[in-house]
Amino acid sequence: MSKEKTKQQNPLVSIVVNVVIPVAILSLLSKEKYLGPVWALVVGLLFPIGYGLHTLVKERKADFMSIIGIVSVTLTGVFGILKFPPEYIAIKEAAIPLLLGLAIIGSLKTPFPLIKKIMMTEALFDVERLKQALKEKGNEAQFEKRLVGLTWGFASSMFLSAGLNYALAKIVLKSPPGSPEYTAELGKMTGLSHVVVLIPCMIVMIWVLNKLFDTLIELTGLKLNDLLAAHHKEKPAAESDPQVD
């Protein structure tokens, strides 16, 4: 019998639950004749919060980025319900990626650099084979040195996100807190952030990830396919599923 494959999250479902549904609710149902600004905010944000918690429970492990996302969305809801000034939302939107970037850089001074937790994961790489190859080539120290530059590159995407998030919040949020217009503006900001903020930051992250791939290929002497976790998992699956003649 073949091994049961781990179900991967459907990116389309994630986009619909985390972006499309909340934006639609905040934009269309915030008028008093529908849900009203407060309940539209509560219902709209329940979807990404619920999806994030469901993912954490299903995976049975605390994903660092998922936790950050849940905290960010929850704070947006709390600030909106308590009718905090738009400036608070702008500061919150900038503070989370800014603090994350600083934490990533600061962790270089500890035995547990955060970039390893974020990028050097079992889901992406065959970590044990990678470590063994670095050890055999005597390039462990060289890899740690290269990792410092990659960390600054990754942190720069967080700083870029902080600046773009703050600017977007300042531009979009203009109406009085607690009003239907303000709730609709929160929906607009959520939708725009996935274009104005996410795309530039993803470009920087992809560049850093490619540099990480190049570094690992150079220092381990292995091909990229041999380092990836997916390639490593395919072999046992193929061996356990011999075709019957």
Half-sphere exposure of 207 (CA within 13 A, CB side): 14
Number of domains in the chain: 1
Q: Does the pTM of the predicted model rise above 0.85?
A: no
Q: Is residue 187 part of a domain?
A: yes
pLDDT for position 14: 67
Tokens of 230: 């997916």
pLDDT: is 2 or 20 the higher one? Answer: 20
Q: Is 2 a domain residue?
A: no
The residue with greater pLDDT, 169 or 58, is 169
Confidence at 6, pLDDT banded by 50, 70, 90: very low
Residue 6 lies in a domain: no
Is 130 inside any structural domain? yes
Q: What is the pLDDT of residues 182-201, one digit of tens each?
A: 888 888 887 888 788 888 88
- Examine the pLDDT at 65 and tell me if it is beyond 70: no
d(CA 73, CA 57): 18
* Neighbour count for residue 123 (Cβ, 10 Å): 11
The C-alpha atoms of residue 218 and residue 183 are separated, in whole angstroms, by: 51
pLDDT of residue 170: 92
**Residue 244 in domain:** no
* Domain assignment of residue 174, yes or no: yes
Does residue 152 surpass a pLDDT of 60? Answer: yes
Q: What percent of the chain has pLDDT over 90?
A: 7
Residue 1 lies in a domain: no
Instruction: Look at residue 3 and tell me whether its pLDDT is greater than 50.
Output: no
90 domain residue, yes or no? yes
Look up the domain containing 139 and give its range.
Answer: 11-239
* pLDDT band (50, 70, 90) for residue 98: very high
Confidence of residue 148 (pLDDT cuts 50, 70, 90): confident
